[in-house]
A and B are shown apart, each in its own frame.
Chain A
């Protein structure tokens, strides 16, 4: 039986069960952690022979399915903070636009590749190690906040800044009251980083929601998926329209696996403790960081590559 399926935009053929499996793994991570999974799936697709530009664009299309499935699952469970998600999304769109301009500027100076690679490794390394350390402490009954606070009992500098900012809003699902400026600003920051790094930004957004916005972990996952859904709808349409890079047959095969994976991930996530979720995500982030570091340090087998690859 021929299991290969032809991908008209990628211009190649791939085993359909391999795509189904890859989609399933990434969908599972998406449902479990609220990340899009592009940072993991795009390199995997490139490894199996999909042209880099098609891999990135089609990946966005399948993330639409996985995040729609995941958002629906979380919305049914009441773990999506739509108000927070919309503010982060608005900030993300503005930040993404600024980031694209910044990259354009860096490319003209010839420093873009260096900045992208170093930003990637530093971001992944610092986020991953911080989450890992914090979740380890959490598993042993402490938190970073408690350990760093010591004997000091007054409000922290961060809390004082939050209190003086205008446009306060109550986010009932997240059980926090914040100035609307904070999620707008943070969304913008992630948008800039996402544009620079060429990824959806879920693995940056999730730690920001946990540590800076102080949202509960289960609301973080659902809200992140909600935001990713709209980001990837925009990216898919723009990539199809402007660059003709979306391979629907590829995305369809991936999404069959990913929508199921996302549901399973969301169910597994409910059974795990917050610190267990955080420690797993931090390990994945650090594995990706180590892989990138190895790519940067090890001499490649082939010194030439097609445009659009990392």
Chain B
């Protein structure tokens, strides 16, 4: 480490800064997440989730929900011949969260300085810093469009100022907030984190998880699609033909003999 004194000094300064802006975790408080386990069945159309917790008084709070990350290979539209909008290339983003939901008691800018939020991965600016390696490049310039795309699917959603803590006896406050786990959220485990902010510093107050899994029928269909693809294709066609002919016969019977 001492071979690079300038680098060492910068790292030390950053560490000290982090120590003062992101506080060491206090005793973790339990989060009451309802429901924690969700089955994706044939009539699944997303799930409303409610998170409750009793937090020490005096904190501004923020709830962050995210899952694993994915690489996204997207098409980019641009002008051709100066007037035609067409797909003109591709943009690749690495480490894009599959889900990114934020609920907070205040505006993000009022909770803590930008560097603190960035360290905690809170807000779209923090996401951009994590995902985009060269901010001046194409991926950086189109980052706003990536957010719009994801927000359109309900997978990214940031609501600032929605949580109102209610006072409780014993110097604590109860918080409750909700969000929709959209139907496009892939199966898997999602991390739910509750942060507290005081005096410009952020603390992880508690965390929990949500598990999203397929039920037997959906798992069976997914397995057919992936592992018995040819059989699945043939069955799909056969059922379509039978349905088509059956309807034809029913309609034909209704009208008697065709001319």
Contact = CB atoms under 8 A, between A and B. Distances in A.
Interface stretch (B13-21, B26-34, B203-211, B223-231): B223-231
B233 A236 contact: yes
A173 to B, nearest CB: 15
Interface stretch (A150-158, A199-207, A241-249): A241-249
A26 to B, nearest CB: 13
B245 A69 contact: yes
Interface stretch (A72-80, A97-105, A138-146, A279-287): A72-80
A230 B226 CA distance: 24
A6 B239 CA distance: 19
B75 A300 contact: no
B113 interface: no
Q: How large is the interface on B (under 10, 10 to 19, 20 to 34, 35 or more residues)?
A: 35 or more
B12 interface: no
Contacts of A259: 243-244, 247-248
A161 interface: no
Interface string A179-214: 000000000000000000000000000000000000
B41 interface: yes
Given A248-B232, A301-B148, A304-B76, A236 B237 contact: yes
A73 B252 contact: yes
A8 B43 CA distance: 11
B241 A64 contact: yes
A13 B86 contact: no
A303 interface: yes
Interface residues of A, number: 61
Contacts of B218: 6, 8
A68 B86 CA distance: 36
B145 interface: yes
B129 interface: no
B244 A297 contact: no
Interface string A1-45: 010111011011100000000000000000000000000000000
Nearest to A244: B225
Interface string A258-278: 011011000000000000000
B183 A303 contact: no
A257 B44 CA distance: 21
B175 to A, nearest CB: 29
Given A49-B184, A298-B85, A237 B230 contact: yes
Contact of A73 (B83, B146, B241, B248): B248
A251 interface: yes
B156 to A, nearest CB: 13
A199 B184 CA distance: 27
Contacts, number: 183
A5 B45 CA distance: 7
A299 B84 CA distance: 9
A307 B240 contact: no
B44 A251 contact: no
B145 A302 contact: yes
Nearest to A15: B45
A108 B66 CA distance: 38
Contact of A11 (B84, B186, B229): B186
Contacts of A117: 84, 86
Given A68-B244, A244-B225, A2 B43 contact: yes
B10 interface: no
A131 interface: no
A295 interface: yes
A61 B235 CA distance: 11
Nearest to B234: A237
A67 interface: yes
B40 interface: yes
- Most A CB contacts (10 A, CB to CB) among B148, B225, B239, B244 go to B244
A85 B182 CA distance: 46
A303 B76 contact: yes
Interface string B25-68: 00000000000000011111110000000000000000000000
Q: Which 7 A-B pairs have the closest CB atoms?
A: A4-B45, A240-B233, A68-B244, A72-B248, A13-B183, A76-B258, A13-B45
14 contacts: A4-B45, A4-B183, A6-B183, A11-B186, A49-B184, A65-B243, A65-B244, A68-B240, A69-B245, A70-B248, A259-B248, A297-B84, A297-B85, A303-B78
Interface of B: 40-46, 73-78, 80, 83-88, 91, 142, 145-146, 148-149, 152-153, 183-184, 186, 214, 218, 221-222, 225-226, 229-230, 232-237, 239-241, 243-245, 247-249, 251-252, 258-259
Given A240-B230, A263-B248, A296-B86, 4 more contacts: A6-B43, A68-B241, A242-B229, A303-B145
